[in-house]
Amino acid sequence: MSIFTMPSLGADMESGKLAEWLVGPGDRLARGDIVAVVETQKGAIEIEIFESGEVVELIAAPGQTLPVGAPLARIRKPGEVEDETPEAAPEPEPAAPVTPPTPESAPSAPRPPSHGASGAPPGARAPGRVPSGALASPAAKARAAEVGLDLSDVPGSGPGGAVLLADVEAHAKASGKPAAKGKPGLDMAEMRRAIAAAMSRAKREIPHYYLSHRIDLQAAQDWLAATNAERSPDRRLLMGALLIRATVRALAKVPELNGRFEGGDYAPSDTINCGMAVAMRGGGLIAPAIMDAREKSLDDIMAAMRDLVARTRTGRLRNSEITQGTVTISSLGENGVDALFGVIYPPQVALVGFGSPRPAPVVHDGSVAARVCVTATLAADHRVSDGRRGATFLAEIDRLLQEPDTL
Amino acid sequence: MTPEDIRAAFIEDLTSVAPDIDPDTLEDDAHMQDDLGLDSMDFLNLVSALHKRFGLPIPESDYPELATTAKAVRYLGRALAG
């Protein structure tokens, strides 16, 4: 028997709110299945399970805010017999010392009695603004507060007329309230606090060094325009996809920039999970990873970018995407400034920045010409690499972008 | 299609790409990137949605014609008539 616990979704996370179970007792799970949705400062995150087995019992109830490491469910491993004693839950990871715990992050109960996923657990903390007297599940209350519904207006279908999550969704739909405007569960103040914690840690612990290199993008720009001219809009590429593809390929030449520095040791990574900083409309940013980016073609990278940007802004990310990054790229896009000097996202050891591509006077074939250029920068961890290797890396990105048809 | 129909369709696609934009306060001369904050991915998603809805090719060279709601309505009207 094993205990499935509240996962850590980053060094900055102390607790998460279980929003929803997607499985129930008796369900058989394979490694990688999505079992629950947890709300964090990064919005609602889909939680994958990393072992196979069968759900025996759901311990935590939707709506509960629980610390990292708290038991969520009991899982029977394949081949196990009924009456085995459960293994002890792993020790909760120590919370990052940067931010004091808020009342919200205190465990609501050490081990609440088990109950069905849709029931209203007695004594569970009611998040958000709730009218007194309305009997409703925590998930329903949270959702109602989110969409601005008064719970007393919602007919309940649960025990004793309790309002369930499905009732709120149905009522919200019927009354024309937006089902999900923007990103569900996203709290901007919390996100700012999380960014502050991660970036403070980076600046405190990581000896950054910085390199900058201007790259002539005219060849890439011309190739992109010619390629897109033959494609319908849904199949067009963005320059950002070329920049990511070139960066991922250049990492093969300087692999020490791809990995994680944890517990005083650096571990290079065989796979490249390329984080991509995505700005949220309204402020803040999240850097989910394009998983196994090395194995992806240019078109695959573009498809992954589209999917990831959409899910970052309005949908759900998966926990692997926000915890397994091995390097991050931050790109200012079309309407920014010349260069971006990044702060490394711990425990990674490098952040690649791209300013806005724009025409600049450059020497090309012996004379000055106006050509589209971009400034590429590298912020890297001096515990792991040196400037000379960093320079090799940026020069390799430059070289690859001069031959866009081979990307 | 009347310009009003085109405008309504355009705003529907725009607000689906950027759900925080309020159609009631949207100004027809607001610039997609500079005023409404669309990035290149948002803009490409908008162009893709318009392509799907109207069946128009909308080449990249025409992107400046979609810079504001007012310009886009004129552009789409011309393209649909042509």
What integer pLDDT is reported at residue A314 of this predicted model? 78
Structural domains of chain B, count: 1
Rounded distance between C-alpha atoms, residue A322 and residue A273, angstroms: 10
Counting Cβ atoms within 10 Å, is residue A352 exposed (0-12), middle (13-18) or buried (19+)? buried
* Domain at A206-406, CATH from 3.20.10.10, 3.30.559.10, 3.30.365.10, 3.60.15.10: 3.30.559.10
Q: Which residues pair with A289 in a beta bridge?
A: A275
Q: Where are the alpha helices (DSSP H) in A175-318?
A: 188-205, 218-229, 239-250, 298-314
Residue B25 placed within a domain:
no
> What is the predicted pLDDT for the residue at A158?
67
Q: What is the pLDDT of residue A183?
A: 62
Residue type, A163: V
pLDDT at residue A62, rounded to an integer: 92
pLDDT digit string (tens) for chain B, length 82 residues: 899 999 999 999 999 998 889 999 999 999 999 899 899 999 999 999 999 999 999 999 999 999 999 999 999 999 999 7
Question: Which two three-digit tokens encode residue A214?
Answer: 């201007």
Helix (H, G, I), strand (E, B) or coil at B34: coil
Question: What pLDDT is stored for residue A283 in this prediction?
Answer: 80
Whether the CB of A308 is below 8 Å from some CB of chain B: the reply is no
Distance, CA of A166 to CA of B52 (rounded, Å):
32
B chain contacts of residue A281, beta-carbon cutoff 8 Å: 18, 20, 37
Q: What is the pLDDT of residue A193?
A: 85
pLDDT value of residue A114: 39
Nearest by CB: A281 against B18, B57, B58: B18
A49: left (phi over 0), alpha (psi -120 to 50) or beta: beta
Measured CA to CA, the distance from residue A286 to residue A303 in angstroms comes to 18
Ramachandran bin of B9, using left for φ above 0, alpha for ψ from -120 to 50, beta for the remaining angles: alpha
Q: Which residue has the tokens 């012996």?
A: A366
Q: What is the pLDDT of residue A143?
A: 67
Q: Is residue B76 part of a domain?
A: yes
Task: Say how far apart CA A24 and CA A27 lie, in whole Å.
Answer: 6
Q: Which of B41, B44, B50, B52 to mutate to test the interface with A (most CBs of A within 10 A)?
A: B41
Q: Which domain holds residue B70?
A: 3-18+30-81
Contacts of B45 in chain A (CB under 8 A): 306, 310
∠ Cα A89 A94 A95 (to 5°): 120
Extract the residue ranges of chain A whose pLDDT is less than 50.
Answer: 84, 86, 88-133, 177-181
Backbone angles phi, psi at A94, to 5 degrees: -60, 135
Residues B69 and B46: beta-carbon distance below 8 Å? no
- Residue A152 CB neighbour total at 10 angstroms: 13
A294-336: pLDDT as tens digits: 999 999 999 999 999 988 887 789 999 989 999 999 999 888 8
Helix segments in A100-183, DSSP class H: 138-147, 165-174
- The CATH number of whichever domain residue B55 belongs to comes to 1.10.1200.10
Name every chain B residue with its beta carbon within 8 A of the beta carbon of A240. Answer: 40-41
What is residue A92's predicted lDDT score, i.e. its pLDDT? 47
Architecture of domain A2-105: Beta Barrel (2.40)
Give yes or no for A222 touching B (CB within 8 A).
no
pLDDT at residue A182, as a whole number: 52
**Every domain range in chain A assigned CATH 3.30.559.10:** 206-406
**Residue where the block lists tokens 């929003």:** A19
The answer, for A87 touching chain B at a CB cutoff of 8 Å, is: no
Contact call for B33 and A236, based on CB within 8 A = no
Which helix (H) or strand (E) segment holds residue A387: the answer is helix A387-401
The answer to whether the CB atoms of B34 and A333 lie below 8 A apart is no
Q: Does the CB of B37 have a partner CB in chain A at under 8 Å? A: yes
d(CA A98, CA A346): 14
Q: What is the ipTM of this complex?
A: 0.92
CATH 2.40.50.100 residue ranges of chain A are: 2-105
